[in-house]
Amino acid sequence: MDDVLTGLLKPKSIAVIGASNTPGKIGHTVVKNIIDSGYKGGIYPVNPSAEEILGLKVYKSVLDIPEPVDAATITVPAKYVIDVTKECGKKGVKGLIVITSGFSEVGETELEKELVEIAHQYGMRVLGPNVVGTLSNSDSMNASFAPFLPLNGSASLVSQSGALLIAMDAITYTRRIGFDKLVSIGNMSDVNFADMVSWLDEDENTNCITLYIEGLKDGRRFIEESAKASKPIVILKAGVSEHGAAAAASHTGSLAGAQHIYGAAFKQAGAIQSTDLSDLFDCTLALSLEPPMKGDNLLIITNGGGVGVLATDSAEKAGIPMTFAPESVQEELKKHMPSFGSAKNPVDLTGMAGNDWYHDSVKFSFAHEWVEGLVILYCETAITNPMEIAKALHQAIKETGITDKPVTVSFVGGERSNKAMQWLVENGIPAYNAPDLAVKAMGTLREYASLETMKSEPFQENPSADKNKAKEIIAKVRADSRISLTEIESKTIFEAYGLPVVKTFLATSEDHAVEKAEEIGYPVVLKIVSPDILHKSDAGGVKVDIQDEASVREAYKAILKNAKEYKADADIHGVVIQQMAPWATETIIGSVNDPTFGSTIMFGLGGIFVEVLKDVTFRVAPISEAEAASMLDEIRGAPILDGVRGEAPRDKKELAKTLAKYAFMITDLSDEISESDANPVIVYEEGKGVTIVDARIILKKK
Ligand code: ADP
Ligand code: MG
């Protein structure tokens, strides 16, 4: 564990610089909160013109404090922060919690930089500036101006919004979801989300990491630290940040919205992305109390047919389609229900179900090896008492002694059901006030398990890639003062990275074109080669299915004529002659350089699917083959690759390999490549591979 960060987040002593005797001032509130929260370490108010604050001795400077100081909470105006930082450095303080605002959030970027530079000179870390502070139940410490410690529990929250942190602090009591720490991360001038994830992953009092993120600073490090973490991470991402899509010269560029890429990055980080604030709490509740759901066998037990049906619908939506329980399970369950009940799945104990039936069926099911996740639903009835039902099922679960599979609960009813659910949550069982939420929570636990297996796959290196060849071509293009490569230049680089491109030759005369066509064998395709013509078909620069010599000559002339008409001063390198690839399923692979995450790769079906439906998916590169395979499955048009209406399934294996190789290429050349695409990539039947017929690379401006 990082010692300095530990000093900042679990300090043995705290100085409050800018402490005040005036109630209502932040410098007063913070001292009062530290005292009121029962903090056991040293508390040292600092103020040059006060003697005593709230019964504590006040020091003129942090340098006058006779004991060591781990953390300093800074509340003085921005213009004094630099001086105070230097004093803290001399004192040997480990970390600064800079509550003061008036830094980069109002354009004072230089002042913020100076603050961090000085802090680092002394080996200190900076939380903030512009933070609420930090709160920790396990340290009985409220070093913030939020009014009280959160409801005690085992999740920890890091929030980029101070206002939201204070609001969530209060919600922990109404939602009965417990947190150990709340950390306000503010402007993230130094300590960022990646630092917090890696520290909290080792914090013994945290077992679920909950993040409210507006924007990340170092996206790649965040992915790395999160992927390494062994605890669940759940994120609420707000806002769609400014993105380089505006200047997009390729398809991929125009499709790469920040949401797409953040969503992909979170998946690769192994983190669950929640949809809204309420969902963030729902996910946190499940992930902080329950283990992941390791397989798809979900059993639902209910006393009402209706909620059972609702829950079944939700299960499908949550990605855990339900199947009937095996006969042996059904036989046993029938013993705990009347003859008109149903033992299939959902298991309907009927409205006659009392404490014992719930207890016995839950105990049996939860212990049964077929069951990998259990959702227990209950509708209030005239003959039962919700609290007794809650206790019965809690007892049943405890008696099984099982802790490695998850259970979630929903009681549908009034005040008595709410009280019973509160009791369940306090006793470690996540309960939700609607059946679909209990099922959705189980879906979250299932997703967590799937993400865990995915992130352990290593990405594909490509040792046979010829980077020098690629560099050579790029150097030539740069020497030409160009940033866009022609199709044949792009294809040569693709080939150097082992990508399957169609055989393509450049011809500079009609005779030359004929010679190459005969060498390749008919039919062939002819296309214009000009760095000034990016979209070749638009310029009448593509002639396909050329069958003989006469047609080659005709096409050659036509292409040059069309190109000149399209753009009179276009720099024309010649015409490419290439193999005519047989037609099959058309897909697109592309890449863009994201300001937060660097090289990202995109996959989608080609043609109208990408133009109209924008049916594409992204990942931060590089990726493993398994990750690539999961991209193929997550587009809406995925069934097309599996073969619809009697068509043979497509070669997804080769396609995934190609995607992974492509991702390696853009990563290896990330200093150079800004955007690229392979459009189309034709995918054949299983075992017959894929072929790239068009290639485009745009370099970074230098
Ligand atoms: P651009 O995208 O610049 O207009 P392409 O090289 O993609 O040019 O060609 C346009 C279309 O022509 C492709 O989408 C594809 O349908 C077809 N095509 C191009 N090259 C080939 C080829 N070698 N084999 C088969 N079809 C091709
Ligand atoms: Mg194309």
The pLDDT value given to residue 255: 62
- The percent of residues in the chain predicted with pLDDT above 70, rounded, is 97
The pLDDT of residue 179 is 98
Ligand 1 centroid vs 612 CA: distance in angstroms? 19
DSSP β-ladder status, 574-579 and 524-529 = antiparallel
For residue 580 and ligand 1, the question of a CB distance below 6 A is answered with yes
How high is the pLDDT of residue 478?
Answer: 97
- CB-based contact 358:393 (threshold 8 Å): yes
Mean local confidence (pLDDT), 364-370: 96
Q: In the predicted model, is pLDDT for residue 681 greater than 60?
A: yes
pLDDT band at 202; cut points 50, 70, 90: very high
Q: Higher confidence at residue 375 or residue 247?
A: 375
**The pLDDT value given to residue 394:** 98
> Tens of pLDDT along 120-164?
999 999 999 999 999 999 999 999 999 999 999 999 999 999 999
> For residue 456, what pLDDT is reported?
64
Share of the chain above pLDDT 90, in %: 86
Mean pLDDT, range 465-479, rounded to an integer: 97
Q: Give tens-digit pLDDT for 28-64.
A: 999 999 999 999 999 999 999 999 999 999 999 999 9
Identify the band that residue 253 occupies on the pLDDT scale cut at 50, 70 and 90.
low
pLDDT at 603 over 80: yes
At 700 the pLDDT is 96
From the CA of 528, the nearest ligand is: 1
Distance of CA 694 to the CA centre of its chain: 31
Q: Rounded CA gap, 221 and 236, in Å? A: 18
What is the residue with the minimal CA distance to atom 13 of ligand 1?
Answer: 680
CA distance 563 to 532: 10
* Gap between the Cα atoms of 503 and 573, Å rounded: 18
Main-chain dihedrals φ then ψ at residue 673, nearest 5 degrees: -85, 130
Say what the pLDDT of residue 13 is: 98
- Is-contact 580 569, C-beta < 8 A? no
The string of pLDDT tens digits covering residues 558-598 is 999 999 999 999 999 999 999 999 999 999 999 999 888 99
Contact between residue 683 and residue 642 where contact means Cβ atoms under 8 Å apart: no
Query: What's the CA gap between 50 and 68, in Å, rounded?
Result: 21
Q: Tokens standing for 505? A: 């030759």
E strand intervals along 281-331? 298-302
The tens digit of pLDDT for each residue in 335-346 reads 888 888 888 999
What's the rounded mean pLDDT across residues 442-454?
91
Position 244 scores a pLDDT of: 37
- Ligand 2 centroid, distance to 517 Cα (angstroms): 21
pLDDT beyond 60 at 208: yes
- The residues pairing with 57 across neighbouring beta strands, listed in sequence order, are 52
Written as one string, the DSSP assignment of 85-137 is HHHHHHHT--EEEE----SGGGT-HHHHHHHHHHHHHTT-EEE-SS--EEEET
Q: Which residue type is seen at 242? A: E
> Residue 533 CA: which ligand is closest?
1
Residue 678: φ, ψ to 5° = -115, 105
H or E, element range at 674 = strand 673-683
Distance CA 330, CA 323 (A): 12
Nearest atom in ligand 1 to 606's CA? 14
Q: How far is the CA of 542 from the centre of ligand 1 (A)?
A: 7
Who surrounds ion ligand 2 at CB < 5 A?
A: 679, 694
Select the more confidently predicted residue: 452 or 630. Answer: 630
Mutating to test ligand 1, I would choose from 537, 538, 588 the residue with most ligand atoms within 8 A of its C-beta, which is 537
pLDDT band at 245 (very low <50, low <70, confident <90, very high): very low
**Contact 563/664 with Cβ under 8 angstroms?**
no
Q: CB within 8 A of 43, min separation 6: which ones?
A: 13, 14, 16, 31, 34, 35, 56
Q: Is the pLDDT of residue 239 over 70?
A: no
Smallest CA-to-CA distance from 598 within 660, 666, 658, 659 is with: 666
* Sheet (strand 407-412) strand order: 347-348, 298-302, 373-379, 407-412, 431-432
State the distance from the centre of ligand 2 to the C-alpha of 644, rounded, in angstroms. 25
Mean pLDDT of the chain: 93
Which ligand has the minimum distance to the alpha carbon of residue 524?
1
Give dist(CA 560, CA 528) in Å, integer.
7
CB of 581 sitting under 6 A from ligand 1: yes
What was the pLDDT predicted at 250? 52
pTM of this structure: 0.90
Tens-digit pLDDT profile for residues 410-430:
999 999 999 999 999 999 999
- Taking the C-alpha atoms of residue 165 and residue 158, their distance in angstroms, rounded to an integer, is 8
* Distance separating alpha carbons of residues 173 and 149, to the nearest angstrom: 10
Average pLDDT over residues 485-492: 97
Cα–Cα distance, 459 to 51 (Å, whole number): 61
**What pLDDT is stored for residue 48 in this prediction?**
95
User: What is the structure's pLDDT at 609?
Assistant: 76
The pLDDT value recorded for residue 251 is 55
Lowest mean pLDDT among 193-207, 539-553, 606-620, 650-664: 606-620
CA of 375 to the centre of ligand 1 (A): 52
**Residue 247 — very low, low, confident or very high, per pLDDT cuts 50/70/90?**
very low
Each residue's pLDDT tens digit, 624-636:
999 999 999 999 9
> How many separate helices (H) and strands (E) can be counted in the chain?
24, 29
Q: How far, in Å, is the centroid of ligand 2 from the Cα of 587?
A: 11
**178 DSSP 8-state letter:** -
Looking at the CA of residue 535, tell me the nearest atom of ligand 1.
Answer: 3
CA angle 220, 221, 227 (to 5 degrees): 90
Q: Distance from the CA of 148 to the center of ligand 2, in angstroms?
A: 60
| Ligand 1 near 536 CB (within 6 A) | yes
| Confidence band for 243, pLDDT divided at 50, 70 and 90 | very low
